[in-house]
Amino acid sequence: MPRLHYSLWLAPLLIAVILFAINRLALRSSLSAIYREKFPETPRERLFWAAVGFFVALAVVRTLTFLIHNDIGPFHDIEMRGRHIHHLVWGIILLLLTGYGWLLETGTGARGSRTWVGRTMSMAYGVGAALTLDEFALWLNLRDVYWSREGRESFEALALFAAALAIAALGGPFLHAVGRNFFHHGPRNRSTNGF
């Protein structure tokens, strides 16, 4: 079996299987009533699935790159014609395809759109974002700094995006209510001690 073989199909397969299992668990088990109660509107549901896709892909890809870097198991870098193909390439392709699908209003909740397509596209967006941002330091520095000190920039980009996804997915109703309250009532008078 060629060295490329395992690395090429294992990460996408693991990500797909894990996301499928989480999706089935949330929608087809005793958790489905809780899921439907907590995600009544489509945009927040899409944010949730994007976050799930992001975190699952990040865990799988980081594990696989660690194994490749430390020469553990049958995993190796993906190369085509002697050129190392970084996983941010696959992430960019996935982001482009997801964006194009949303331009066509596929899975957006528009008339004729299917909710399962929306969940799938949201997960694909999260996966693409994780693959791309995991190598943020590479495209920032225009050289492979994944395992060097400069590679920390990727962790910072991942943390910022993960926080934004989590806040939007989990804190959306609260933040919306705070904004509505602030703009409706205006800033309230503060007490004399500044609190």
The pLDDT assigned to 186 comes to 59
| Global pTM value | 0.80
Number of Cβ within 10 Å of residue 117's Cβ equals 13
In a domain, 58, yes or no: yes
Considering the chain, what percentage of its residues have pLDDT values greater than 70? 86
Tokens of 23: 């999706």
What residue numbers bound the domain in which 90 lies?
A: 3-172
Kind plus residue range of the DSSP H or E element containing 45: helix 42-69
What is the total count of domains within the chain?
1
Contacts of 128 (CB under 8 A, 6+ apart): 90, 91, 92, 93, 94, 95, 97, 98
Domain contains 195 = no
User: Does residue 48 belong to any structural domain of this protein?
Assistant: yes
39 domain-assigned: yes
Q: What is the pLDDT of residue 41?
A: 67
For residue 1, the model assigns a pLDDT of 41
Q: Does a structural domain hold residue 47?
A: yes
**Does residue 117 sit within a domain?**
yes
What pLDDT is stored for residue 188 in this prediction? 55
pLDDT digits (tens, 9 = 90+) for 16-67: 999 999 999 988 878 888 888 877 767 888 888 999 999 999 999 999 999 9
State residue 148's pLDDT score: 85
Residues lower than pLDDT 70 in the chain: 1-5, 7, 41, 110-113, 172, 174-175, 185-195
Phi then psi for residue 146, to 5 deg, are: -55, -45
Name the pairing type of β-strands 83-84 and 79-80.
antiparallel
- Specify the pLDDT at position 88: 93
Q: Is residue 98 part of a domain?
A: yes
Is residue 192 in a domain?
A: no
Residue 3 has a pLDDT of: 47
